[in-house]
Structures are given as structure tokens and as C-alpha cells.
Amino acid sequence: MTETQPAQINPSRFGSGQSVRRLEDDALLAGAGQYTDDLTLPGQTQLFFVRSPYPHARIVSLDTAAALAMPGVLQVVTGADLVAAGVKPIPGASGFTRADGSPCAAPPRRALAHERVRFVGEAVAAVVAQTLQQARDAAEAIAVDYEELPMVVDMNDAMAPGAPVLCPEAPDNIAAETRYGNAEATAAAFASAHHVVALDLVNQRLAPLSLEPRSVLAAFDTTSQRLTIRMSTQMPSGVRDSVCDALGMAKEQLRVVVGDVGGGFGMKTGVYPEDVAVAFCARALQRPVKWVADRSEEFVSSTHGRDLQSHAELALDEHGKILGLRLASLANVGAYATGAGVVIQLMIGPWVQTSVYDIQTIDFHFRAVLTNTAPTSAYRGAGRPEAIFTIERLMDEAARQTGIDRIELRRRNFIQPTQMPYKNPMGQTYDTGRFESVMDQALVLADWQGFDARAAESARRGLLRGLGIATFLEWTGGNALEESVTVEIKAPTSGTDGIIEVFSAVNAMGQGIATSLAQLVVDAFGVPMDKVRIVLGDTDRGNGFGSAGSRSLFTGGSAVRIGAERTIDKARQLAAKEFEAAEQDITYADGSFKVAGTDLSIDLFALAARQSDQRIFMDSTTAVAGPSWPNGCHICEVEVDPQTGHVAVVAYASVNDVGRVVNPMIVRGQLDGGAVQGIGQALCEHLVYDRETGQPLTGSLMDYAAPRADNAPDFKTELDPSTPCLNNPLGVKGVGELGTIGAGPTVVNAVADALARRGMAAQARQLQMPLSPSRLWHLMQG
């Protein structure tokens, strides 16, 4: 087997293909989890941040004397203190330009604001005290004199002449912009089109809302002169590197350790200003410093998701064949253009904009706009939900305007299996895909043909029933296609059995990755799962990209599989020496080596015991050949109450091509959980800033409508493993974000269908997320 051919998986002892219960859950259900806030170190102190109440203001003065004199207070740090100490700003977006060719422009982002604040919730000071209450009390005693400045939170307002400017390098508040495709060829395609469909679409701003808020516990060891940070993050190596850069430390001086993580959804990727500030205080005090965000802090200071406005146009010929796609989008990246915030909207989203359709003529224009709001960054799907929402809304609207059945319209435009590998107009190559087959399976699963009878039954109850569909793909991998693992076969010791310990730099955040990796180890070694231990989240054990972009299994899992096989090969060499036999005569199966044609054998762990260090150890790095392109067809049915505007998702079916499946139960859980987040965006979630004051209006769960269990239908979720990925040795494809990407357009298309069937096609064109009852009711009245 080469490293780019799909492995032939033979399930045994809870290996791949089986719905193994998650190894992580027993400890969590027993209350034995190790989240950052579960840890208390000797001499531990507590940190509390003072945050700006203004969206834009100059810091005139900051008096900390009264706070420093209060009981239990050990330290008060300001932005000026950090600048004086040489703490560097956190790097922003790079590699992009503005329209005039100048570099991407954004204000420097510091761990604590210096001289100027640019959004409500930006930290301006940090107080460290013996207890959290003491830190809170002292924070209230800090006197900050602000000079309020003009602010802007709306993108169109920000680009208007005379708008407040967030940084002089971007006088128009456009941090960066990109253009793709051929404008002249696209204009010609539209000029010759038989049908032109246009929509104005909004992907509203969202709060990622992980169950566990961000948390950081930093401790400085005076003996080793090393700093250890325990935290809730998806990318420990990246955080280590960024903190070291900000504080001027060598990487060897800092260790990042991650225990259990209560959800990340992309929001916990990369470094935050608070991480740097906590690390600085711990090093300065030489005592452990802990900060755990409360929910109100998370709403205003963690990165947000989405916030994209688009004008999209589709040109079709008389037969419904797509001739061209034109798109102009504004992305609100907030007060500081983070690297992820810009690349997601100006590059990653465009990569999948044409999705599963054979479209080669495009004209895309994307602009990243600075406003006095919290920065945007990764959130589950990261650019792909926005892109797929746009093309799928266009496809259904095109079907209504052309009179072509929407299933038939998709068939006429699908990329065919015979076209694989297929290069889309953004230069991205799909290795495999059978999109029409996936759709056909979903139509049967959803009983598409039986919809009319169900609609009639809904009508008898005074409800409008709609049928929605989305056929789509996504890109996974984060363009980090290499991963390292260490595999260690440990000999038995007194009282303990031998064990295979595998360390990977991918990171757990509630997605069951340790279980899936353990199943791959079982595949390779043929030992029971209780002989396998997966270790994650420790930069002293190894470095890697971490978990983001649905990369954990297809890159991290591939590295585990190849690393295990290399370890077996090394152990085979050791066994050959033990038996004084030729290496090619040594066979391995089910945890034992044998000499062919003899009864000589040795157990894997006994072999480890005969080594000088009582172990067999292998460092291994594996690179996959490219990203994976999971795809699916999602279909849902909704009931709309015309009296109230309430939308209920009453049925949801999906068929998903995620390549080979390691753990079907975990995959289905990822798909269904992701779909609930997509339904949440479609129906209720919206993080809102007041246009006149710049204040966040949805700063708590009293104001921000998160999806609940009663928003989730009984999912019918099926997997199609018939088209394995060709870019990695497992044949797997990323799955963590697929459900979120598909659910938004599926639900909104269903509501649009319900309105169109009632003669409200014009209102269907105007639908914008979230489809809250009041918003939808008012739309239907027009």
C-alpha cells in the first residue's frame, strides 16, 4: 500500500467501520473531566479584565492607584505597561492587498488596548488578585477617562465618504479586497443569457457559543524558567508560537497543555489578546494566574462568525445550463482584520463558490471591511456555509424563474464522475464525487414524491408546508496537509499490562477524535482497544497544526495509520534480530510476530520488554496529497404558521459522502449536531450591534436566540462510503462542518418553497436569515 491509496479496512476488536462508544465519555459523565477551570495550582491567583464600554474612543488616562491599594490585589497591567515591556502586537491578516496594491490594512491589535479602543468589550486593563471577587472589585476602582470618538458598525456606513476611519492605512475602511475570474467573459455570458437570476443575500453575524468559555491558566516555573499554559484551545502549537512571539520568548520556554475542551467550533483557533495578557502576568508575578471568561465576556470579546452581504447573479441558457456566476460581497471583519477572518471570506469561501456545479465562467469581487465591532474569524464551516448558501439560494430561485424543476436543473448542471479530477474556476481540484447519485439517494430517503400528501395534511391544519433541498460540497483541511505522531509500545510493568500509546497534535474539542484514532490503531496493530492509549494536547510531546477545518481524521488519522505501520516495520526488524531470522520471514498479526514455517513467536509487548529502554518508539510524519471534498444532499420540510410567522422544521433527511467511515455513530453525531447549528442560523441566531450607538444588543442568552433541542427534528442521516477520497491513505473525508454548511440553505429554501406555493414568490426572493417569527410574519403581510 502506498501512502496515497485508500487502506483496505478490516474491522476487528472495535476497529474502523464500527460504532464504538466514545472512550472520552466515561470520565466526563462521572464528573472526572479535566477542563482548565477544574485545575487549581498552589499559589494560584485570579485575573479579571477591564473592558471598554465604548465602540470607539481615545484612552485619555487610566488611573490604577486605587485598585492597587485594594485587598488581595497583586498586579494591575495596562496597555501602556505592555508596550513599555516590549510586548508585540498580535499579527493580523497578511498576503492580501487593497485595491491600490498596498498591503492589507488594519490597526495593530494588542493584548490590552493602547491609546485607543475600537469595539465594545476590548480589554484595556487586567487585574490580578488572590480571589476573583477581589479582582472584580479592584477592576471597578480603575478610573479610565475616555474621549468618545465617532464610530461605525454597519459596513455600508463604514465605506461611505466621511465615515470614521479605524486606521489611516485604510481611509475607506476596506482592509483588503480580491477579484477572481474574468469580468469580460462573464459579462459576455450574461449578455447572451436567456435567464438572469439575481439575489441580495445576508449571512448574519453569529456567536459561536461553545459550552465551555475560553479559559487560560498560566504558571511560571522559577527553576526551569519555563512558562506552562493550560487552556481551552483547538491549536496548542499555534498559541505557543504566537505567545512566544508576542513576549519575546523562545519556543522551548513555553509549554501549552490542553485537557478537555467543551466545544470550539473554530472560535478557539489561534491566539487571543487575553492569552498573551495572562501569560505576561504569570511570568511577571512568577505565580499561577487563571482567567475564565464569563458568558457576557464571550459575547463581546470572542471572535464572531459570518457577517457577509452579497449581491449574486446567475446566467442560464434556455435549457437551464449555467453560463456564468457573478458575485460581489462585503465581509465585516470587525475592528481588527484577523488572518482567519480575512482568508475565510476572501479566499476559502470563493474556493467552493461554484460547489458541485460545472461552472467555469465567474466574476467575483470580495471586500473585507473594518468596523467598530468584535473581529470575525473561524466559525463552523468558515466561509463554506456562506458560499453554499449563496449558490443554493440562486439554484432554487433559478428553478422558479425558469420553470425548470429544481431537481432537473441540478441534474443538468452537476459535475459528472467522468470529469474527475475536476478543476473548478478557482483552481481547486476535486479528486472524486458522485453528486447526482448522492442526490438520488436523498430523494428516496426523504420521500420527495410523497410531499404533496404531507402538504395537504399541513394545509388542513392551517399551515404552509415547504420542501427544501441543498446539494453541495466543501473543502477541508485548512491547507495544513502534514501531521506528525509518535507511537510508543510500552512493555508491561508490575501491576500494568503493556500498552500502545499514540500522541497526535490534532486536538479534542468534543468531537470524539480520540476514539476514532484509537480505532485506527486497532486496525493496524490488531490488538484490543483497551491496549491503546491516545494522548493529545501537549506541545512538549509534539507539534502540529491542531484541529480545524475538519482535518483531524483525514490528516491526523492518516498520520496515525502510517505511523503505526512504520512502528510495526521497526518492531519486525527487532523481532528478526531476536529470532536471528530474515526480516522477510517475520509475519505480524494480532499483536504477535512469528517466524514463517516455525512455531517461534513473540508478543509485541514482550518484544518491547527486551529492549534496553523497555519500549519500541517511532516518530513519524505523514503528508496527505491534498484536501478532501466531502459532499451531500440535504432535504428538509418545514411548516410555516401564517398567523404567527413561526417556522418548524418537521423533517430532515440527508445523504452524505464523507468517504470511508471510521466510526458511523460519531460521524452521524457530527452531521446532526452541525445541522442543528445551521438550523439555528437559518431560524433564530443573530448577533446585533445598534447602528446608532455601536452597543451590542444581543450580549446574553436572554437576548441571543440559540437553537434548542425542540428546534431539532428527528434526523434521517445516511452515509455513502462508495467514493473514498484519493488524497489520503484512509480514503476518509472531513465531516465536522458538513451538516452546518448544508442546513442553512436547505431550511431557507424550504421556507421559500412554502411561500412560493402560496403565491408569494416575491417574498420568497426577499427572505433573509434569521427567519424569526416577527420578521417572517411582516414579510408575508407585504
Q: How many domains does the chain have?
A: 3
Domain carrying residue 559: 25-33+478-623
Contact at 8 Å (CB) between 60 and 218?
A: no
Q: 611 and 468 share a domain?
A: no
The residue among 569, 602, 623 that closes a domain is 623
Distance CA 589, CA 572 (A): 11
Q: Residue 74: is its pLDDT beyond 60?
A: yes
**Mean local confidence (pLDDT), 2-19:** 58
Contact at 8 Å (CB) between 511 and 497?
A: no
Contact at 8 Å (CB) between 51 and 144?
A: no
Q: What would the pLDDT profile of 201-240 be if each residue is shown by its tens digit?
A: 999 999 999 999 999 999 999 999 999 999 999 999 999 9
Asked if residue 369 belongs to a domain, the reply is no
Chain mean pLDDT for the chain: 96
Asked if residue 400 belongs to a domain, the reply is no
**Mean local confidence (pLDDT), 411-433:** 98
Distance CA 9, CA 730 (A): 8
Q: Which three cell numbers stand for residue 62?
A: 487610566
**Mean local confidence (pLDDT), 591-595:** 96
Q: Residue 6: is its pLDDT beyond 70?
A: no
Q: 90 and 139 share a domain?
A: yes
Nearest to 739 by CA among 693, 671, 677: 671
Distance CA 340, CA 266 (A): 10
The residue among 301, 328, 355 that closes a domain is 301
For residue 568, give the 3-state DSSP assignment: helix
Asked if residue 160 belongs to a domain, the reply is no
Q: 445 and 506 share a domain?
A: no
Q: 595 and 645 share a domain?
A: no
Distance CA 746, CA 378 (A): 22
Single-letter code of the amino acid located at 349: G
Sign of CA dihedral 391, 394, 399, 400: positive
Contact at 8 Å (CB) between 79 and 112?
A: yes
**Mean local confidence (pLDDT), 353-363:** 98
Asked if residue 355 belongs to a domain, the reply is no
Q: What would the pLDDT profile of 140-166 be if each residue is shown by its tens digit?
A: 999 999 999 999 999 999 999 999 999
Quick one: pLDDT at residue 147?
Answer: 98
For residue 676, give the 3-state DSSP assignment: helix
| Alpha helices (H) along 315-429 | 339-343, 349-351, 384-402, 406-413
Contact at 8 Å (CB) between 660 and 364?
A: no
Query: Could you give the percent of the chain with pLDDT greater than 70?
Result: 98
Is there a cis peptide before residue 770, judged by omega within 30 degrees of 0? yes
Q: 437 and 532 share a domain?
A: no
Q: 455 and 580 share a domain?
A: no
Q: Residue 712: is its pLDDT beyond 50?
A: yes
The residue among 589, 623, 657 that closes a domain is 623
More confident residue, 160 or 1: 160
Residue 711 DSSP symbol = G
**Mean local confidence (pLDDT), 669-694:** 98
Looking up residue 598, the CATH number of its domain turns out to be 3.30.365.10
Quick one: pLDDT at residue 324?
Answer: 98
Grid-cell match 490604577, residue found: 64
The residues, ordered by sequence, that sit 6+ positions from 489 with a Cβ below 8 Å of its Cβ are 498, 499, 500, 567, 571, 604, 605, 607, 608, 615, 616, 617
- Element of type H or E holding 560: helix 558-579
Q: 560 and 575 share a domain?
A: yes
Q: 539 and 680 share a domain?
A: no
Quick one: pLDDT at residue 7?
Answer: 44
Looking up residue 69, the CATH number of its domain turns out to be 3.90.1170.50
Quick one: pLDDT at residue 15?
Answer: 79
Asked if residue 380 belongs to a domain, the reply is no
Q: 570 and 671 share a domain?
A: no
Backbone angles phi, psi at 774, to 5 degrees: -65, -45
The residues, ordered by sequence, that sit 6+ positions from 573 with a Cβ below 8 Å of its Cβ are 583
Quick one: pLDDT at residue 496?
Answer: 85
Contact at 8 Å (CB) between 310 and 155?
A: no
The residues, ordered by sequence, that sit 6+ positions from 440 with a Cβ below 8 Å of its Cβ are none
Q: What would the pLDDT profile of 364-395 be if each residue is shown by its tens digit?
A: 999 999 999 999 999 999 999 999 999 999 99
Q: What would the pLDDT profile of 483-507 be if each residue is shown by its tens digit?
A: 999 999 999 998 789 999 999 999 9
Quick one: pLDDT at residue 3?
Answer: 35
Quick one: pLDDT at residue 2?
Answer: 32
**Mean local confidence (pLDDT), 672-684:** 97
Quick one: pLDDT at residue 458?
Answer: 98
Q: Residue 183: is its pLDDT beyond 60?
A: yes
Q: 503 and 582 share a domain?
A: yes
Quick one: pLDDT at residue 164?
Answer: 98
Task: Give whole-number Cα distances, 236 to 39, 358, 504, 732, in Å.
Answer: 18, 39, 12, 25
The pLDDT-based confidence of 711 (bands split at 50, 70, 90) is confident
Quick one: pLDDT at residue 16?
Answer: 87
Distance CA 607, CA 617 (A): 12
As a whole number of Å, the end-to-end CA separation of the chain is 63
**Mean local confidence (pLDDT), 172-201:** 98
For residue 599, give the 3-state DSSP assignment: coil
Q: What is the CA angle 729-732-736, rounded to 5? A: 140
Quick one: pLDDT at residue 716?
Answer: 98
pTM to 2 decimal places: 0.96
Quick one: pLDDT at residue 13?
Answer: 63
Burial of 540 (0-12, 13-18, 19+ CB in 10 A): middle
Quick one: pLDDT at residue 710?
Answer: 85
Asked if residue 719 belongs to a domain, the reply is yes
Single-letter code of the amino acid located at 502: V
Q: Residue 4: is its pLDDT beyond 90?
A: no
Q: 483 and 472 share a domain?
A: no
Q: 117 and 225 share a domain?
A: yes
Q: Residue 14: is its pLDDT beyond 80?
A: no
Asked if residue 499 belongs to a domain, the reply is yes
For residue 310, give the 3-state DSSP assignment: strand
Quick one: pLDDT at residue 5?
Answer: 42
Asked if residue 196 belongs to a domain, the reply is no
Q: Residue 9: is its pLDDT beyond 60?
A: no
Q: Residue 759: is its pLDDT beyond 70?
A: yes
Quick one: pLDDT at residue 8?
Answer: 45
